[in-house]
Structure 1
């Protein structure tokens, strides 16, 4: 549904569509390389309207990322938690991420966060805090899934949940950067599957009593 103005006249944009177009522009150009003119062209909104609706460039990016996180949560978490087998769950999760990272007309775009704002994290405290929070959410998601697998005896009772979660997070970050560098989707999928197998082997999957 389109947003309505204070006077009751419909605005010529849809919030979700506009933010999706803005995020795609950030992913293509990077945060620094994306200007308000680029965002205006991508969203088909005049700069004054864009600023009035969403704020400055940082505000637009943060709102676009928040929408991406919300929209992708069900798909991402469903792959991770709905599958009883830990190995199958991790394979499904990383293949879903690779599909997201591989979006792009001519080359992979990488992660909407890790591939876009890592360079700005030290210069902009707000963006740095958002990146830190995103990394924390990833770690927590993996810790929760590993804990479930340990409780279900898919992993030994002595499994270091934090260590396994950190290895899985590191794999996710590596895939994001490889995608951004142009690694093809089949190669990313191969890396994901092999890495998951090695991580689970190191964690002792299949050896629980």
Structure 2
């Protein structure tokens, strides 16, 4: 007797690949314009399977962003905290940031957090809290690095580390907005280089050169 094929068995999926595909939809379309049908098509998962695996639309987005952050954190943290030169560390960090603002095909999309949910933050307190947390993490990251620089004598003893950290965070947010608006990668690199140079000058840093001319 021939065994009957099983019915109703869900198709196997890779959670990492599914979340990467989902984030691509959010990144390209924006949060509101991304529907569950879009996510289903991108991931190859039926809507009930998406709910079972990740939860509702916002939980899918949050899981996708968390995965993205974990995957990209190593390169960024290495640049800021393991590169001995503050100047080169900032250059490397912002190169990594700018790279993340473009798709693999070179499409300028901006930040998968700031560029995706900023429009919904005022109307939705949950999304607003997510955005505020993301901004706060960026502020804290730069404050930690500039505090380390002051303690190590890389910058002037009396440098305003809070102000310098805020300037660097503002640069990151500006680059995200400009990328979303379609600013080419070389232009973003030039902007980053010029602003890094200003921050280093304000900090009393004398060594190294900041990223210039998009090279």
Residue 86 (structure 1) aligned with residue 86 (structure 2): yes
The separation in 1 between residues aligned to 2:179 and 2:104, in whole angstroms, is 11
Residue 161 (structure 1) aligned with residue 142 (structure 2): no
RMSD, aligned CA: 1.5
Match in the other structure for 1:123: 123
Q: Are the structure 2 counterparts of residues 106 and 204 from structure 1 closer, same or farther at C-alpha, using a change threshold of 3 Å?
A: closer
Deviations 1:36-89 (A, max 9, x none): 000000000011111111111111101111111111111111111111111111
Q: Name the SS of the counterpart of 1:12 in structure 2.
A: coil
Q: How far did residue 155 of structure 1 move?
A: 0.7
Q: What is the total number of aligned residue pairs between the two structures? A: 199
Unaligned runs of 5+ in 2: 1-8, 208-215
Match in the other structure for 1:70: 70
Q: How far did residue 127 of structure 1 move?
A: 1.1
The separation in 1 between residues aligned to 2:106 and 2:81, in whole angstroms, is 33
**After TM superposition, where is structure 1 displaced by more than 6 Å over at least 4 residues in a row?**
none
Deviations 1:11-55 (A, max 9, x none): 521111101100010000000110000000000001111111111
Match in the other structure for 1:95: 95
